[in-house]
Structure 1
Amino acid sequence: MTTPFYELDWRKLSRQELDFGLNNGVAVPESADIVAGWDQRSALLRAQYPEHLDLRYGPRERNRIDFLKSAEDGPTLLFIHGGYWQTRAKETFSVFATGPMAHGINVALIGYTLAPDATLDEIVREIHAGLDFLVAQLPALGGDATRIVVSGWSAGGHLTSMALSHPHVKAGMAISGIYDLEPIRHSYLNVKLGLDEALSRRNSPMMQAGGTEKPLSLVAGSAELPLLRRQTADFAGHRAKYGLPVTYEEIPGANHFSIMDQLVSPDGRITTLIRQLFERL
């Protein structure tokens, strides 16, 4: 009998089991083809909105933001890409602006320095610096700096939770994120991340007493790796324990990659949740 995901304890797994339990590429063999499709569709969308690409917010090569404008004086969603903090780039994810933009939501996609060239502390600081830049530039870009929601997928879900404390962020939408970095620290993923216990704990929202009192929507796919499903469920429980605003749901049948279909579609569940967050601002 398979152990329910909410009863899994990563500490009782062998290193091989833990590595396998966090490896989304192995779990979804067609993931390379899926991501290649994202790249192709994102390139087409970027070609449609060339006016505000690669806006530099910091000194490092990846410190750039793409701003895709949907509506004058409209709200803005800042999207943070995934890749376990060590792979992928903002350019792959432009296609996911399609859903929100259909509802008059401007979308900014942020790049950041990848591990091992940056520590997780530095990556989090870069996201906050990017938000500072965005807030300052939005009036000139044609956006409303008082209505910013942050979102991200996978590692970007983690960075979304870390960005929620920024004073100009009003709410968050975290997709299939990681909120307790201790299992990451003990897995193959730490070769490039270089987490020690202190670095892991101060960047783990699950390890903090309380949190930011801003609305946060959490989603995962019901067909995702059990360890990652538990990350989202446990973090929802953590926020509820401290009386912090949170919603949590699983997308039926979605894996770590197909869940993003719910953001690219104007009628997708994640797009709807994002729209609802903006409606409450």
Structure 2
Amino acid sequence: MTTPFSALDWRDMSQEERDRGLNNGAAVLGSGDIVVGWGERSAELRKRYPNHIDLRYGPRERNRIDFLKAGERAPTLLFIHGGYWQMRSKEFFTVMAEGPMTHGINVALIGYTLAPEATLDEIVAEIHAGIDFLAKQLPALGAAETELVVSGWSAGGHLTAMALSHPHVRGGVAISGIYDLEPIRMSYLNVKLGLDEAASHRNSPMEQAGGPPKPLSLVVGSGELPLLRKQTADFAGHRANYGLPVTYEEIPGADHFSIMDEMMSPKGRITTLIRRLCEGE
């Protein structure tokens, strides 16, 4: 029998149990190969859309945005990659644009400085700076001058929630995200992140009194690690308690990596959620 979320508390776990409960790579057989495959498909897609690659929005090396244009005056989705704020890059995730672009949605992918070279406060600030830049560039890029929809996976789900407060963001789709950083702070992941208690609370959407009153769709796979499924369910409850617009759903059978099939596919559930937000539904 599956342990109910209400009975699952990371504070009751040993360090080893907590670390294992957050380790997506170890939990999914062949996850490294999956990401390599994403990277190969992404490289091919960037070759097809070479005109607006590595647009610089800030002074640091990873402060770059790739913009893939689907159509003239089309709405734009900004995608934020995952990797627990300390791994991977936007170049592995260009393939995630395939589903939304089929529906005429432009897709921008943002890079950001990884920990330990940047603190989480600095990473969040970089995402906001990137949104500032992209919003100003939309007319020159031939995109619709409307608010952006933001989406992200894993750590990018967290950064999506943190980006909702930006005035140029219409709404978000957060996939398999982290919304309470305290279990992260008390795990192996904090070796590079270096969070103290104040930074953890400051950057935890679950710790905020309320939140931006913008639509947010929260998605997680039913086959994901229980601690991470609980993160999404708890954050959905948090927003609902404050009367903020939110939807929550689990993709049946999806793990932390296969869930992204729902964005790469034109008919995928995540693609549908993004399309609805871009169309203002």
TM-score bracket, normalised by the shorter chain, equals over 0.9
- Please give the secondary structure, in 1, of the residue aligned with 2:82: coil
Paired with 1:173 and 1:6, the residues of 2 have a C-alpha distance of 24
Q: Distance in 2 between matches of 1:145 and 1:12?
A: 49
Looking at structure 1, the residues matched to 96 and 66 of structure 2 have their Cα atoms a distance apart, in angstroms, of 13
- Per the normalisation by structure 1, the TM-score is 0.99
**Partner residue, 2:133:** 133
TM-score by length of 2: 0.99
Residue 110 of structure 2 aligns to which amino acid in structure 1?
I
Instruction: Determine the structure 1 residue equivalent to 2:239.
Output: 239
Q: In structure 2, what residue type is equivalent to 1:131?
A: I
In structure 2, how many angstroms separate the alpha carbons of the residues matched to 1:2 and 1:46?
42
Matched, 1:105 2:100: no
Aligned pairs (5 A) from 1:1-281:
1-280=1-280
Count, aligned residues: 281
Provide the rounded CA distance (Å) in 2 between the counterparts of 1:67 and 1:198: 35
Moved more, 138-147 or 267-276: 138-147
Deviations 1:21-54 (A, max 9, x none): 0000110021011111101100000000000000
Q: Distance in 2 between matches of 1:275 and 1:134?
A: 19
Partner of 2:147, secondary structure, is strand
Q: CA deviation at 1:5?
A: 3.5
Q: Using the alignment, how far apart are the partners of 2:192 and 2:186 within structure 1?
A: 12
Secondary structure of the residue that 2:91 maps to in structure 1? Answer: helix
Distance (Å, rounded) in 2 between the aligned partners of 1:57 and 1:173:
23
Hey, which bits of structure 1, 4+ residues long, moved more than 4 A?
none
Identity of aligned residues (%): 77
Q: Which amino acid aligns with 2:30?
A: E
Gaps spanning 5+ residues in structure 2: where? none
SS in 2 for 1:95: helix
**1:87 offset after TM fit, Å?**
0.2
Quick one: distance in 2 between partners of 1:236 and 1:172?
13
**Residue 47 of structure 1: SS of its match in structure 2?**
helix
The alpha-carbon deviation at position 180 of structure 1 amounts to 0.1
Distance 1:147 1:201 in 2: 28
> What is the alpha-carbon distance in structure 1 between the residues aligned to residue 187 and residue 168 of structure 2?
34
Give the distance between the partners of 1:6 and 1:28, measured in 2 at CA: 24
Structure 1 residue runs of 5 or longer lacking an equivalent are: none
The alpha-carbon deviation at position 7 of structure 1 amounts to 2.2
State the alpha-carbon separation in 2 of the partners of residues 111 and 16 from structure 1: 31
In structure 1, distance between residues paired with 2:141 and 2:280: 23
Q: Which amino acid aligns with 1:180?
A: D
Which residue identity does 1:189 align to in structure 2? L
Moved more, 2-11 or 145-154: 2-11
Matched position secondary structure for 2:146: strand
SS at match of 2:145: strand
Cα distance in structure 2, aligned partners of 1:219 and 1:144: 27
Check whether the contact 2:76–2:278 (CA below 8 A) recurs between aligned residues: no
Task: Give the distance between the partners of 1:240 and 1:68, measured in 2 at CA.
Answer: 34
Displacement of 1:2 after TM fit? 4.4
Partner Cα distance (2:251, 2:215) in 1: 19
C-alpha distance in 1, partners of 2:167/2:7?
36
Secondary structure of the 2:220 match is strand
Q: What SS does structure 2 have at the residue aligned with 1:52?
A: coil
What is the rounded CA distance, in whole Å, between the counterparts of 1:165 and 1:87 in structure 2? 25
